[in-house]
Structure 1
Amino acid sequence: MGRCIEVAINLPGIVAVRDSKEQAGPVLTFAPAAWSAFTAAATDGVLARTV
């Protein structure tokens, strides 16, 4: 099963994330600074991967 997310960075003051296969499902929202910190940590390999 594929894991797909959509990230909307074009909304004022928030970053919205959802499962692209469940478009009517829940949406997680983050402050832009928090999302930036998360993606930087993921890119740098700081986050532990779990399955």
Structure 2
Amino acid sequence: MLTNKNRPQSSLGKATSEVNGYQKRVGLEYDKVSKKMQQMMESSDNLHVYNSA
């Protein structure tokens, strides 16, 4: 923590990269969910499989 006094930019950069990583993970999860939804819509005749799961 003491080294951050000399370089205040480093902590800001770290926080920014953490936020970017978080957004990336959320984006990947969203892609997965939307793909799953699309598959469910396309295979609507298999809906009973999803309902029982």
Give the TM bin, normalised by the shorter chain.
Answer: 0.3 to 0.5
Higher helix share: 2
Normalising by the residue count of structure 1, what TM-score does the alignment of the two structures yield?
Answer: 0.32
Bigger RCO of structures 1 and 2 (CA < 8 A, at least 6 apart): 1
Larger Rg: 2
Greater strand percent: which structure?
1
